[in-house]
């Protein structure tokens, strides 16, 4: 038993990864949960990640055999039946069926064709071996790993850094918030708008952060005025009594 568990622990992620294409694309959270429950019928799923396309998902199974079985069983089809909005004594045990939908096997789908439920919807899952390099996805994140040490020649003095220094409060998070070079933020902003020069991008960054800061200050002032008004009303009611 111990040897088999050690073997499973060293199964490469690429062997346990799958890509799921769903037709039609799920629109609700409960529909996405029903998709995950359908996958879990074949084994444990460690990661279930929606992609930019609402009809596409990445998943990582606990065992490589689970991923292989899902690929071999593709396509999968199930019925999604949303729970009724009204609560009755007949559905008090809905937790046993799972909130939001009831996935069923494709072989039992034809038996439910005579159902009177108009809200029933069928989903088809096309499952393929995953080609996502998860380690690369993690490593390319700007927040991966320790914060880099200062360069021997000192921090980079750029227009964006100097602009952020004027608006970011000097607290424990200032070092990271003022750094506009380490995480590649300037490059990403320039890629989104390649026709703009870097100085105009930095000015836009500064203006947006100043606007957000002022908006937060106004919100705090509004809340404080409301609390003060509530205190005055309570004091007046006590004096009248």
* Residue ending a domain, choose from 109, 137, 165: 137
pLDDT tens-digit series, residues 8-32: 556 888 889 999 999 999 988 989 9
Enumerate residues 6+ apart whose C-beta is below 8 A from 125. 20, 21, 22, 35, 38, 39, 74, 75, 76, 77, 78
**Which residue ranges of the chain lie beneath pLDDT 70?**
1-10, 83-118, 137, 140-143, 145-156, 180-206, 208-209, 226-241
Pairwise CA distance, residues 213 & 121, whole Å: 46
Of the chain, the end-to-end C-alpha distance in Å amounts to: 75
**Is the same domain home to 33 and 121?**
yes
Q: For residue 45, which of 54, 35, 30, 55 has the smallest C-alpha distance?
A: 35
* Residue ending a domain, choose from 137, 168, 194: 137
Q: Any idea what the CATH number is for the domain that residue 57 is in? A: 3.30.70.330
Is residue 143 classed as helix, strand or coil in its secondary structure?
A: coil
**Is the same domain home to 25 and 130?**
yes
In a domain, 147, yes or no: no
**Is the same domain home to 71 and 188?**
no
* Residue ending a domain, choose from 78, 111, 137: 137
In a domain, 144, yes or no: no
Residue 110: what pLDDT? Answer: 43
Pairwise CA distance, residues 69 & 108, whole Å: 19
pTM recorded for the entire structure:
0.47
Q: Which helix (H) or strand (E) holds 230?
A: helix 198-240
Q: Which helix (H) or strand (E) holds 186?
A: helix 185-192
Residue 71: which domain range?
A: 2-137
pLDDT tens-digit series, residues 52-86: 888 999 999 999 999 999 999 989 988 888 766 55
In a domain, 241, yes or no: no
In a domain, 53, yes or no: yes
**Is the same domain home to 117 and 162?**
no
């Amino acid at each position: 038993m111990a040897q088999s568990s050690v073997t499973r622990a060293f199964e490469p992620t690429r062997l346990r990864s799958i890509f799921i294409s769903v037709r039609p694309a799920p629109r609700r959270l409960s529909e996405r949960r029903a998709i995950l429950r359908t996958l879990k019928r074949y084994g444990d799923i460690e990661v279930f990640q929606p992609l930019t396309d609402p009809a596409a998902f990445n998943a990582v199974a606990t065992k490589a055999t689970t991923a292989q079985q899902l690929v071999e069983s593709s396509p999968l089809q199930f019925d999604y039946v949303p729970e009724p909005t009204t609560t009755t004594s007949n559905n008090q045990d809905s937790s046993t069926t799972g909130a939001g939908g009831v996935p069923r096997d494709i072989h039992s789908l034809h038996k439910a064709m005579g159902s009177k439920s108009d809200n029933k919807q069928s989903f088809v899952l096309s499952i393929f071996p995953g080609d996502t390099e998860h380690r690369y996805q993690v490593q390319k994140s700007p927040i991966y790993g320790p914060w880099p040490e200062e360069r021997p020649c000192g921090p980079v003095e750029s227009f964006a850094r100097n602009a952020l220094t004027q608006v970011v409060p000097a607290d424990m998070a200032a070092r990271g918030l003022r750094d506009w070079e380490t995480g590649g933020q300037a490059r990403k902003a320039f890629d989104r708008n390649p026709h703009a020069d870097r100085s105009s991008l930095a000015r836009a960054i500064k203006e947006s952060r100043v606007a957000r800061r002022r908006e937060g200050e106004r919100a705090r002032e509004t809340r404080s005025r409301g609390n003060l008004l509530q205190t005055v009303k309570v004091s007046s009611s006590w004096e009248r009594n």
